[in-house]
Structure 1
């Protein structure tokens, strides 16, 4: 969202407290937030959400003004960076990463802002992902997990049941191919969101991007075995469709699924709406692993953070306590088919029959693993994966060689070389 969902937030605020000219009255405070747009049109732009939230907050907090500037995901991270580089950071930013700003000492610690109740309400895995050296700087803002989507009609026509293991997935894909399905399994390893598809497969193979102590381990034995299986059992057998995985982007794979051309693919909640709009009947199951369901699925979170430069931690914290109230977290999650980042809102969603289609994603959240967003090198490593990993399953590609190259690039980025 990586899509999904995505396919991850920064928060900084500006305000002025204290008296002036001998007056006992505090000055009015203006908090400025730069946020990402989760909408796909002007009609559902996140600007509307934030404007309504800010107006409701201001009505209860005279003297506090909240100005929100929403930018597309293509521009928002760069816009915040420009503001910081100019020495005029926003008071809040809700974007895809926080680690660089935390490393520079620009951010408030979450414990200096939020009430104890709000801090304790974050979903634990998401809160931990916002920590650097065991101190939380990033506040999760929106999250999603991944499930395996399958086309119910194509499966029924072929007499198939959804797979629970790699072997079953390959067998189902083979049966779908025999019936002329264009993409038996869509494997989007193109540059748009290859880091997401890659992580899902690495996790299902028993490993991931990092080892148990948090060091990059892209070329681990398990990871090489995973990509070798993908290359030999899916790609080389023609089970991934007419477009080479290295050239297939996630958005194109989702669009093909919504046209009824894909038997299976990994997807996030927004795919539900796209497929339903096109009349595709689909099911969703946990991502298969080597010998059964994967021990973990990929989780994704975007981040809120608060910059220290303009001060006013008290006002920032009070506003963020409001942002993270159950009502507001649920409202945002419902508006954009995302998962709540707080336990209270997650429990409310789980109990709501109207949210039945999100239950599978919610169940995966406690066992999900996130990108290593606490590393300042992650943005560089992610970009390298997007550009290179698809070559690992190309006709002349070598999984061991490509993952080895990515490992060396990751180690260089992590050491600042």
Structure 2
């Protein structure tokens, strides 16, 4: 499930990212297991498309609908907005029915869950047509299950560093850091005079995941036998956690809660924190709490281990899927192709400050500092382990517990082993 990007940058199985708004599309006839196999000779009179609330603006969808209907005479797009609350069960039920919508927006990390039901069309033969080699990895990978592409990347969002320009200037820092070492050095300079070098809670686990990915590790791994194993006890995960601990210590963020308790935007808005990790849309919440910070906020990609590559980030966003029971699958694919194509990707990126689905389109965000930093970081985007059971991990989140334990003095090896066992159990559950 994925709340509005501004609050969500969390995987879509439990949700993920920044800024948003929405509308949708509706109804068809005849079914089939491959694109076009269920279409009648005549063009459909109506296509049903479900779009999640606050994903895109009403004006964007109105323009898209008018343009699409103008180019496809005889076709009507019935755009239907869906609420995030309860959407998982609603989509699952729709996929099992004989009268599903024709196109559905789903959170990118929810694709595995829905594909496991057998009700989502395999679109692997459309990847080349959609320029899939250019897709952002962290958005494309969750849509690909066991080598088959079920989800078509629509848009993405990821975290960046939002910083206070005045505090950087006072510390004599004129250029944002590009490497981890530079980041630690600058944050140390900023952590003086009663200021926090960075506000980072102890349980911001998406940030930890990025550091673990940078080390070549992951949160879990799938074996040749199809079984999953939690991997927070690996050397790579320990190295990622060690960096997190070093960075988190350069501020006064709580060790036993996440970025929502207290709301990090409100803490940053007090003007004493130099940096915070957030999607660019988090700047709006900061300015709402303290309008005096207008023009004082800057953005840069999370630094990587070397200057030639930004730090790894969790890529939240949405994919588009076509149900097997769509009655006009070929026509549904044309809707997906249009929404995922150059024209509407560029328009959506500019209007919504999203990262478009292809790396070659990142330039459309050049006039937006926050979105540009986000697009720069997106090239090293990743997703949570691609399991339909990932939501079960987040439900009792052993990663958060592991982080707090390490930050409060527990042996990382012992805490990592306990967390890994919990992840393993959740991912391999058949209930």
TM range (shorter): 0.7 to 0.9
Alignment map for 1:7-406 (pairs within 5 Å):
7-8=10-11, 14-16=27-29, 26=42, 28-38=44-54, 46-84=57-95, 89-96=100-107, 97-111=110-124, 114=126, 116-120=128-132, 122-123=134-135, 125=137, 126-160=139-173, 162-181=176-195, 183-190=196-203, 194-210=204-220, 216-231=230-245, 233-235=246-248, 237=249, 239-241=250-252, 243-249=254-260, 252-274=263-285, 278-289=293-304, 296-300=311-315, 301-343=317-359, 345-346=361-362, 349=364, 353-355=366-368, 357-372=370-385, 374-383=386-395, 384-385=397-398, 388-395=401-408, 397-406=410-419
C-alpha deviations, 1:46-68, integer Å up to 9, x for none? 44433432233223323322222
Match of 1:407 in 2: 420
Structure 1 residues 254 and 202, CA, compared in 2 at 3 Å: closer, same or farther?
farther
TM-score (norm 1): 0.79
Give the SS at the match of 2:355.
coil
CA contact under 8 A between 2:178 and 2:310: conserved in structure 1? no
Structure 1 residues 196 and 230, CA, compared in 2 at 3 Å: closer, same or farther?
closer
Q: How many residues align?
A: 395
C-alpha deviations, 1:308-366, integer Å up to 9, x for none? 113321111112122223121122222221100035533x516xx53465333333333
Structure 1 residues 31 and 392, CA, compared in 2 at 3 Å: closer, same or farther?
farther
Instruction: For residue 3 of structure 1, report the CA deviation from its aligned partner.
Output: 5.7
Counterpart Cα distance in 2 of 1:318 and 1:101: 21
C-alpha deviations, 1:29-51, integer Å up to 9, x for none? 33222222236xxxxx6444334
Give the SS at the match of 1:55.
helix
TM-score (norm 2): 0.77
More helix by share: 1
Counterpart Cα distance in 2 of 1:355 and 1:174: 29
Structure 1 residues 272 and 88, CA, compared in 2 at 3 Å: closer, same or farther?
same
CA contact under 8 A between 2:310 and 2:376: conserved in structure 1? no
Give the SS at the match of 2:118.
coil
Match of 2:17 in 1: none
Unaligned runs of 5+ in 1: 19-23, 40-44
Instruction: For residue 369 of structure 1, report the CA deviation from its aligned partner.
Output: 2.4
Unaligned runs of 5+ in 2: 14-23, 32-39
Instruction: For residue 187 of structure 1, report the CA deviation from its aligned partner.
Output: 1.6
Range with greater deviation from structure 2 (136-145 or 124-133): 124-133
**Pairwise CA RMSD:** 3.6
Counterpart Cα distance in 2 of 1:148 and 1:2: 16
Matched, 1:6 2:6: no
Counterpart Cα distance in 1 of 2:307 and 2:133: 32
Range with greater deviation from structure 2 (9-18 or 66-75): 9-18
CA contact under 8 A between 1:187 and 1:245: conserved in structure 2? no
